[in-house]
Amino acid sequence: MVSLAWDPVNDSSVIGYYIHYGKQSPNRLGSCAYDQEQFVSSQQSSHQGTVADLDRGLTYYFAVSAYNGLESHCSNEVFIRTPLLDCCPSWGWWREVVSLRYAWNEEVAPVSWTVFASS
């Protein structure tokens, strides 16, 4: 399980965020071309989400996009290697400032990521 948190976009039209993730990076800044995505409503969350059922011992890449009816470009990505065993807690975290480019107005805003991983 990986929990991600980010600073919200300062735009009242944003109704949620997509967490994009996968075992491969798209290797293109702003790309949301990941294998999977998960929607997080702004009303159901304080700008955080948890991604479960990840394979053990693999590296996963994550990025977030804002959604207001249109989806923004993706933020810079963060990545984490999942623990090999379920028996033993494995914690990791980091904080990285990334940026989110809105598709609807091409504005750039800083986004702070906090990522926690546990088995």
CA distance 78 to 61: 6
Q: What is the reported pLDDT for 102?
A: 41
| Residue in the structure block whose two tokens are 């590296």 | 59
Q: What is the reported pLDDT for 99?
A: 40
Q: What is the reported pLDDT for 49?
A: 85
Coil/strand/helix, residue 113: strand
CA distance 69 to 15: 8
Chunked into runs of 10 residues, the chain (119 residues) has average pLDDT values of 80 90 91 94 80 87 89 85 65 43 42 48
Q: What is the reported pLDDT for 85?
A: 67
The structure tokens listed for 101 are 């480019």
Q: In sequence order, which residues have a C-beta less than 8 Å from that of residue 37 and are 6 or more positions away?
A: 18, 19, 20, 21
Q: What is the reported pLDDT for 86?
A: 59
Q: What is the reported pLDDT for 93?
A: 43
The structure tokens listed for 67 are 């959604």
The structure tokens listed for 109 are 């805003």
Q: What is the reported pLDDT for 12?
A: 86
Amino acid at 7: D
